[in-house]
């Protein structure tokens, strides 16, 4: 982050044969690891710097990378302001940490858990506020056993609303057919 003024497209990675261009998304992926978010916990200055860095790199973010960063945030500090910023840039709210492209190419290693699932494992105020944000913005909540996770069980202690009540406040789920998924109907005429 010391060369913040330089475009991430100018970065190079040394190989045995030559230098190869390091794509912006790869550079962003290497920069925004979970330790970055752990280090900002409790420091307004570090949080502000990270928000500024995200803003400066906004044009280089790809949707899957935004989702990956959101999941990494949930697995570490659960900083609400950065989560809001990532969602405003178009981070997919239900992005799993373990992701594949449309043609099956592996692009992100991880557990396959979404930001909501990871935040539900924690019992901190930040994790609770992140869970509330994600649920109220329409995150998928129908995960097996999520209501039994420590964060979901103790959510009422932090925000005064129990898990079941929070789910009632969530926007209605969008039917499959309006998500762009084509359903085939066979008719017997």
Per-residue pLDDT at 122: 95
pLDDT digits (tens, 9 = 90+) for 146-175: 999 999 999 999 999 999 999 999 988 765
pLDDT digits (tens, 9 = 90+) for 13-26: 444 444 444 455 56
Residue 7 counted as domain residue: no
Per-residue pLDDT at 158: 94
Closest CA to 121 of 94, 91, 154: 154
Distance CA 104, CA 123 (A): 35
Residue 181 counted as domain residue: no
pLDDT digits (tens, 9 = 90+) for 67-123: 888 988 898 888 899 999 999 999 999 888 545 555 555 555 556 789 999 999 999
Residue 186 counted as domain residue: no
Per-residue pLDDT at 172: 84
Per-residue pLDDT at 162: 96
Residue 94 counted as domain residue: yes
| Secondary structure of residue 102 in the 3-state scheme | coil
Residue 8 counted as domain residue: no
Q: Which CATH number belongs to the domain containing residue 35 in this structure? A: 1.25.40
Per-residue pLDDT at 168: 93
Can you give the residue range of the structural domain that contains 169?
21-173
State whether the Cα torsion 85-139-122-125 is positive or negative: positive
Residue 98 counted as domain residue: yes
CA distances from 31 to 15, 48, 77 (A): 20, 16, 16
Distance CA 149, CA 120 (A): 6
State both tokens at 83: 């989560």
**Count of structural domains, the chain:** 1
Per-residue pLDDT at 22: 47
Residue 188 counted as domain residue: no
Across the range 16-41, mean pLDDT stands at 58
**Which pTM does this prediction carry?**
0.70
- Confidence band (pLDDT; 50, 70, 90) for 48? confident
Residue partners of 81: CB distance under 8 A and separation at least 6? 47, 51
Distance CA 175, CA 182 (A): 11
- Confidence band (pLDDT; 50, 70, 90) for 33? low
Residue 6 counted as domain residue: no
């Amino acid at each position: 982050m010391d060369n913040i003024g330089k475009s991430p497209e100018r970065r190079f990675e040394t190989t045995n044969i030559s230098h190869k261009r390091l794509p912006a998304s790869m550079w962003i992926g290497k920069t925004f690891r979970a330790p970055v978010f752990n280090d900002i916990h409790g420091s307004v200055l570090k949080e502000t710097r990270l928000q500024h860095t995200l803003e400066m790199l906004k044009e280089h973010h790809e949707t899957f990378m935004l989702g990956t960063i959101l999941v990494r945030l949930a697995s570490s500090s659960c900083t609400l302001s950065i989560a809001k910023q990532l969602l405003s840039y178009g981070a997919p709210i239900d992005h799993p940490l373990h992701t594949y492209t449309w043609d099956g190419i592996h692009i992100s290693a991880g557990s396959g858990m979404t930001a909501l699932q990871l935040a539900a494992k924690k019992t901190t105020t930040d994790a609770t506020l992140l869970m509330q944000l994600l649920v109220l913005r329409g995150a998928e909540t129908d995960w097996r056993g999520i209501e039994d996770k420590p964060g979901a069980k103790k959510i009422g202690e932090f925000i005064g609303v129990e898990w079941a009540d929070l789910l009632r406040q969530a926007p209605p789920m969008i039917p499959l057919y309006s998500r762009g998924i084509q359903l085939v109907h066979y008719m017997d005429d």
